Amino acid sequence: MCRRRCFLAMMAAAPFLLFSQALVIERPCCHVADHVSAVFGSNVTNDVDYVRREVIAVEPFEACEGPIEQDLSGKMALILRGKCNFAWKVLQAQRANAIAVVVMDHTPRSSSEPWELQMIGDGNATEIHIPSVFVSHETGQAILGNITTGGPVLLTLNTTGNRTHAQRSHHSILEGIVLYVLSTSVMFIVLSGLCLVLTNIATWYQRTSRTRAARRLPLMAYQAKSDDEDLCSICLETFERETLVKVLPCRHEFHQECIDPWLENRSSQCPLCKREALDNASLVTPHFFAGFDTAASPFHMLMYGCMVLPILVVAIVVGILF
C-alpha cells in the first residue's frame, strides 16, 4: 500500500520534475529537492545505480578526521560541509565504498539568501570517480531527520533539471546589477536634492547676514571737507550738504543706496581701499573660503561638493554591501 501511494505521488510530481532540479527522497515518500553537482568525480546520470539507494549519515559527520567508520557499500553518504575541503570528504566516502555523496550545507539560510555552491576539487579530486552533489541545509536536515527517526531513507539521484552554479551566479549578477542601478539612482537623487536645499539655505543665510551687517554701518549727514572728496566713488555724483551717507570703518563715505547693494551682493570690502567693511563675526563664510572675494564663490564650491558627495556615498555603500 505504501509503495502504491509513493508511486501515485511520484506520478503526480512528474510534471514538476520535468522543469525542476531534482534530488528525490523516495522513502519516506516523497520529496523533491534541488542539488548542485560537483565539478569533480563522475557526472550524475539517470543510471539505475542511483535509483532508490539508501543514504547513510557518515561518522564522523564532517568526514575530515580519520576514515569513515561505516561500510557504505551500495549506499549514498550524507556528509556535513565544513572543516575540510569537499574533495577530501568525497574521497573518504569513496574509500568507504559509497556509490555517491550528498554534502549538506552547514548553515541555515533565509529564502532570499542563496545556498547554491559548486564543489571545487583539489589534488584529491583526481582519485574520485563517484558522483557528488551539494544540497541546502534544509534538505540535509530533512534527510538527517528521517534517518534518525528510524527506517532506511532511500534517495534517487538523477539529472532531472540539475541546477548548476553558473545558473545561480547569472541570476545573482543580474540581481546585483539591478540592485546597484536602483540604489545608486535613488541615493543620488535624494542626496543631490538634499545638497541643493542645503546650498540654497546657506546662500540665503549668508546673503541676509551680509545685509544685516551692511545695515549696521553708521549713517551720518554729509559735511563738506577741505579736500575735494565730495563724490560718491560708486555713482560719481556729488554729495549734497546734509545728505545721509554711509561711513565705512575705513572712513570712506558713500550713498546708502550705492554702497548697500555693493556690500550685499558683490564684496564685503571697501570699493576704494579694499579694506574689510563688514563685521566678520556676522558672516557665515567658513575659514577655508577666506581667500575668496566674492560671496558666490564659496557656495559654488559647496554646490560642486554636493554634486560629488552622492557619488562618494553611493560608492562606499555599494562597496560595503557587495
Contact assessment for residue 96 and residue 58, using Cβ atoms and an 8 Å cutoff: yes
- pLDDT value at position 222? 81
Query: Domain range holding 184?
Result: 170-321
Same domain, 188 and 80: no
Same domain, 132 and 19: yes
Same domain, 130 and 84: yes
Higher-pLDDT residue of 141, 227: 141
User: What is the maximal distance between C-alpha atoms in the chain?
Assistant: 127
Residue 97 has pLDDT above 80, yes or no: yes
Same domain, 153 and 187: no
Residue 2 has pLDDT above 50, yes or no: no
As a whole number, the mean pLDDT across the chain is: 75
Closest CA to 62 of 93, 38, 36: 93
- Cell, residue 265: 551682493
Last residue of a domain, one of 112, 141, 163: 163
Closest CA to 33 of 107, 87, 104: 104
Same domain, 123 and 219: no
Last residue of a domain, one of 136, 163, 190: 163
Same domain, 190 and 155: no
CA distances from 36 to 32, 43, 118, 131, 132 (A): 14, 11, 6, 11, 9
Instruction: State the Cα–Cα distance between residues 15 and 221, nearest whole angstrom.
Output: 101
Q: Average pLDDT for residues 111-115, to the nearest whole number?
A: 84
* Residue 182 main-chain phi, psi, to 5 deg: -65, -50
- pLDDT value at position 167? 46
CATH number for the domain spanning 230: value is: 3.30.40.10
CATH number for the domain spanning 53: value is: 3.50.30.30
What digits encode the pLDDT tens for the residues 200-223?
Answer: 887 787 777 777 888 888 888 887
Last residue of a domain, one of 139, 163, 187: 163
- pLDDT value at position 305? 63
